[in-house]
């Protein structure tokens, strides 16, 4: 065994290319077994807990567990934000994302913002909370300088979870876990039971891969809660297979310099226009899908949708451009 390890180390000394080949092989194996974590969560959680058994109603969280309650009788709206694949946890939003949520709630005081759902974990656990690989994720998240490239590991890991959400074999379990996490965090912000006898809406606002997870969770939120569900995609990369029928409307904002957003329409056959039977195309044909240009945004970074640099042609920050576009959407009326 020691001789084998010695030979591997000697082989790796041959250059960076060999190291990259080994890393690629490890990531491939990792991707193949990644659904195991979702299935283990499901077995540990129990089918009854999240209403997975046939004819089993979903049990709303107890109000006694609520720790933070917004005391307002005007609340009738939840804004649930699901982040992109570069995020480490739900508790580490970028300053631009935090500004976005803070300002949109100030403009719409009838809404509460839910920003602590991690869309790349069915159990809603941050990467730092994983016992085995936590040291690796913490290193990748905090590395800087030349080692900053290690952050790509987090993106690759989260892309695998994005793929699970979009996969019809494993997505059903994964997306129900995310829907359960969304309800738990909504209830922590404002008791859902207080809204059950009056109309309320859930606005799932996501970016990048978070939009695909929003679509996957929408079907179960629609099944479990009597609420109007609206999805707002901010440069989202998404499948067109599911979620559109469960939502009242799907709004898609894309930046003029965002080439990553185009990937979803290329790799997913359900997004191809001749696949007229897909939920995406049916929503588009029925007028339930609206796409618009948000501005000169890139996919992420300081000039992305939540970037805090000033856009030269507009003389406001990129996140302010995003806010302007979203505030113009016809989703904020209380009627």
Maximum CA pair distance of the chain?
73
pLDDT recorded at residue 255: 95
Closest CA to 182 of 121, 117, 244, 126: 117
Share of the chain above pLDDT 70, in %: 68
Provide CB contacts within 8 A for 136, sequence distance 6+: 153
Q: Is the pLDDT of residue 51 over 80?
A: no
User: Could you tell me if 321 and 277 are in contact, meaning their C-beta atoms sit under 8 angstroms apart?
Assistant: no
| The pair of three-digit structure tokens given for residue 156, joined into one six-digit string | 């690759």
Which pTM value belongs to this model?
0.81
Helix (H) or strand (E) holding 78: strand 77-82
User: Could you tell me if 207 and 295 are in contact, meaning their C-beta atoms sit under 8 angstroms apart?
Assistant: no
Q: Is the pLDDT of residue 133 over 60?
A: no
Highest mean pLDDT, choosing among 13-22, 81-90, 140-149, 282-291: 282-291
CA-to-CA distance for 294 and 256, rounded, in angstroms? 8
* Mean pLDDT, rounded, for 284-291: 96
The phi and psi torsions of 75 (rounded to 5 degrees) equal: -65, 125
pLDDT tens-digit readout, 252-278: 999 999 999 998 999 999 999 999 999
| The pair of three-digit structure tokens given for residue 123, joined into one six-digit string | 């159990």
CA-to-CA distance for 188 and 89, rounded, in angstroms? 18
Confidence at 74, pLDDT banded by 50, 70, 90: confident
CA-to-CA distance for 329 and 331, rounded, in angstroms? 6
pLDDT recorded at residue 57: 62
Provide CB contacts within 8 A for 157, sequence distance 6+: 30, 120, 127, 137
Q: Is the pLDDT of residue 335 over 70?
A: no
CA-to-CA distance for 137 and 141, rounded, in angstroms? 6
| The pair of three-digit structure tokens given for residue 290, joined into one six-digit string | 């609206």
Provide CB contacts within 8 A for 120, sequence distance 6+: 85, 87, 157, 158, 161, 162, 209, 213
The CA R_g of the chain, rounded to the nearest whole Å, is 21
pLDDT recorded at residue 196: 72
Q: Is the pLDDT of residue 84 over 80?
A: yes
User: Could you tell me if 218 and 300 are in contact, meaning their C-beta atoms sit under 8 angstroms apart?
Assistant: no
Q: Is the pLDDT of residue 31 over 70?
A: no
Place of tokens 């079907």: 219
pLDDT tens-digit readout, 224-249: 999 999 999 999 999 999 999 999 99
User: What stretches of 133-263 adopt beta strand conformation (E)?
Assistant: 201-208, 228-236, 249-255
pLDDT recorded at residue 190: 94
- State the CB neighbour count (10 A cutoff) for residue 161: 24
Exposure string of 279-300, with b = 16+ CB inside 10 Å and e = fewer, is: bbbebbeeebbeeeebbbbbbb
* Mean pLDDT, rounded, for 98-121: 93
pLDDT tens-digit readout, 158-204: 787 888 888 887 778 889 989 999 999 999 999 998 887 778 999 99
Share of the chain above pLDDT 90, in %: 50
| The pair of three-digit structure tokens given for residue 330, joined into one six-digit string | 């016809």
């Amino acid at each position: 065994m020691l001789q084998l390890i010695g030979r591997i180390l000697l082989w790796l000394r041959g250059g960076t290319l060999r190291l990259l080949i080994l890393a690629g092989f490890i990531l491939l194996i990792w991707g193949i077994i990644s659904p195991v974590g979702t299935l283990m969560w499901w077995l540990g959680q129990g089918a009854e807990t999240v209403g997975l058994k046939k004819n089993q109603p979903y049990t709303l969280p107890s109000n006694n567990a609520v720790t933070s309650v917004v005391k307002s009788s005007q609340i009738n709206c939840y804004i649930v934000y699901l982040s992109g694949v570069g995020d480490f946890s739900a508790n580490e939003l970028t300053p631009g994302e935090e500004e976005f949520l803070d300002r949109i709630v100030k403009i719409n005081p009838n809404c509460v913002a839910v920003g602590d759902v991690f869309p790349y974990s069915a159990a809603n656990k941050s990467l730092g909370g994983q016992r085995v690989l936590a040291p690796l994720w913490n290193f990748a998240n905090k590395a800087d300088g030349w080692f900053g490239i290690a952050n790509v590991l987090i993106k690759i890991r989260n892309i695998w979870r994005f793929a699970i959400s979009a996969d019809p074999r494993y997505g059903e379990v994964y997306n129900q876990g995310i829907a359960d996490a969304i309800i738990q965090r909504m209830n922590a912000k404002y008791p859902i039971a207080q809204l059950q006898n009056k109309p309320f809406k859930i606005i799932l606002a996501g970016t990048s891969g978070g939009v695909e997870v929003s679509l996957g969770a929408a079907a179960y939120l629609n099944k479990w809660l009597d609420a109007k569900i609206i999805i707002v995609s901010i440069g989202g990369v998404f499948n067109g297979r599911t979620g559109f029928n469960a939502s009242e409307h799907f709004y898609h904002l894309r930046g003029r310099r965002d080439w990553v957003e185009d990937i979803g329409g290329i790799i997913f056959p359900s997004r191809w226009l001749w696949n007229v039977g897909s939920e995406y195309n049916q929503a588009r044909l029925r007028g339930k899908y609206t796409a618009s240009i948000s501005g000169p945004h890139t996919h992420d970074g300081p000039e992305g949708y939540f970037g805090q640099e000033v856009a030269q042609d507009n003389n406001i920050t990129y996140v302010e451009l995003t806010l302007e576009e979203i505030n113009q959407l016809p989703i904020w009326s209380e009627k």
